[in-house]
Amino acid sequence: MKLVKLIANLGYGSRKDVTQLFRSGRITDAAGEVLYADDVVPYETIRIDDEPLDPPPGLVIMMNKPLGVTCSRKDPGRVVYDLLPPRFSVRSPALSSVGRLDRDTSGLLLFTDDGALLHRIISPRAQVTKVYEATLAQDLRSDEGALFASGSLMLESEKEPLAPAFLEVLGPRHARLGVTEGRYHQVRRMFAATGNHVETLRRLSVGALTLGELPPGAWRTLDADEVESIFAK
Ligand code: URA
């Protein structure tokens, strides 16, 4: 791909803007040599104003989503995309969240511009386990684990029962829940089906990928091994 298109697709500006960046000598190689629009150079050597380019397409990011932001692009309130560099919102191919977390859910949220990867992660067939930690308004009844594991729990207005999920009880009103699907408000609706109410909800992991030390609101790119760990069984 021509450099102008490649750099424009990363969100640095229109092709006209990027052509202007070349003309003004702001695009160089790592040694500071000015590059021209038809030069052919390795991606990692390109600099704009001495800064390396943003990651190329095939980008995968994890964020520790804070409470109070939505996974929408259109919401008039604060959205997860506001926590990423503004350039990331105008990349092509577009960067999207991998599924959604509710405004009132925090924790591990993935983003990618790789549509095939996104579908591979969210497809129920891939059986990627998402683990959530929930605090509840009322004491657990003690039969929730068996009900969630049964594969026969029907949520209101759904046509198919939920796939088996595992529950680990951490305290009278505190549990971890592992699910392989991503139905609308799934975890909240599962506990609602047992007469309970989720007070706080945080996603801890997707496959074998965990947040580690990433603070709330922070994000970082994932390397290939980390991406593969999403599918580790
Ligand atoms: N289940 C929910 O109810 N909410 C989320 O944000 C994620 C899973």
Evaluate: CB of 185 within 6 angstroms of ligand 1.
Answer: yes
What gap in Å lies between CA 48 and CA 94, rounded to an integer?
21
Is 102 in the active site?
Answer: yes
Strands 96-97 vs 105-112: parallel, antiparallel or unpaired: antiparallel
Residue ranges of domains in the chain, CATH in brackets: 3-52 (3.10.290.10), 60-123+212-229 (3.30.70.580), 129-206 (3.30.70.1560)
| pLDDT classification of 74: cutoffs 50, 70, 90 | confident
Percent of the chain past pLDDT 70, that is, above it, reads: 100
Counting Cα atoms < 13 Å in the Cβ hemisphere of 60 gives 20
pLDDT of residue 233: 75
CA 220 to chain centre: 11
Counting Cα atoms < 13 Å in the Cβ hemisphere of 38 gives 0
How remote is the CA of residue 105 from the centroid of ligand 1, in Å? 7
For atom 7 of ligand 1, which residue has the closest CA? 101
49-65 pLDDT, tens digit each: 999 999 999 999 999 99
177-217 pLDDT, tens digit each: 999 999 999 999 999 999 999 999 999 999 999 999 999 99
- Which atom, in ligand 1's list, is nearest to the CA of 185? 3
Structure tokens at 57: 């397409």
How remote is the CA of residue 38 from the centroid of ligand 1, in Å? 48
Residue 177: CB atoms within 10 Å: 23
Burial of 178-204, coded b for 16+ CB within 10 Å and e otherwise, reads: bbbebeeebbbbbbebbebebeebbbe
126-184 pLDDT, tens digit each: 999 999 999 999 999 999 999 999 999 999 999 999 999 999 999 999 999 999 999 99
Question: Is 58 in a helix, a strand, or coil?
Answer: coil
pLDDT of residue 9: 97
Specify whether the CB–CB gap between 78 and 70 falls below 8 A: yes
Q: What is the mean pLDDT of residues 75-81?
A: 94
For atom 3 of ligand 1, which residue has the closest CA? 185
| pLDDT classification of 114: cutoffs 50, 70, 90 | very high
Note if the pTM is more than 0.85: yes
